Amino acid sequence: MLAEGECKINGLRLTELTYENTTGTPSVLITYALTQVEPESKKVIHTHGKVTATGGNLSISTLEILKQLIEQIEQDLAPRHFTQETKKEQQDESRITTAGSEEVEQL
């Protein structure tokens, strides 16, 4: 017998984003949870399982923003492995080091 009743799902929360590009052909796998959210505080009360989707479910503008984010992450990680300064470091010398030896921009 199929269970029936009012659906409590009223939100969606991104839980994981996997970007694969080792072969030069990028792919995106998105995992998200359907959620029950308290309307006033926006606090997640409960999640209702996880669902997966591919990059094909994203808009062109979202894919462009994701591409920019990935390029920026690669620039941020480059100093961990290369001595050559990145463009960002050349433009902005106001970087600080946190307790975990991670560099962040000073506000």
Residue 47 inside a domain? The answer is yes
**Structural domain boundaries, residue 56:** 11-105
Please tell me the predicted confidence (pLDDT) of residue 92: 59
Residue 100 inside a domain? The answer is yes
> How many domains does one find in the chain?
1
Residue 16 inside a domain? The answer is yes
Name every residue whose Cβ is closer than 8 Å to that of residue 30 and which is 6 or more positions away in sequence.
Answer: 14, 16, 17, 18, 52, 53, 54, 55, 57, 58
Asked if 34 and 9 count as a contact pair (C-beta separation under 8 A), the reply is yes
pTM of the model: 0.63
**Could you report the per-residue pLDDT of 60-79, keeping only the tens digit for each?**
999 999 999 999 999 999 99
Q: What average pLDDT is seen over the chain?
A: 84
Residue 44 inside a domain? The answer is yes
Please tell me the predicted confidence (pLDDT) of residue 106: 43
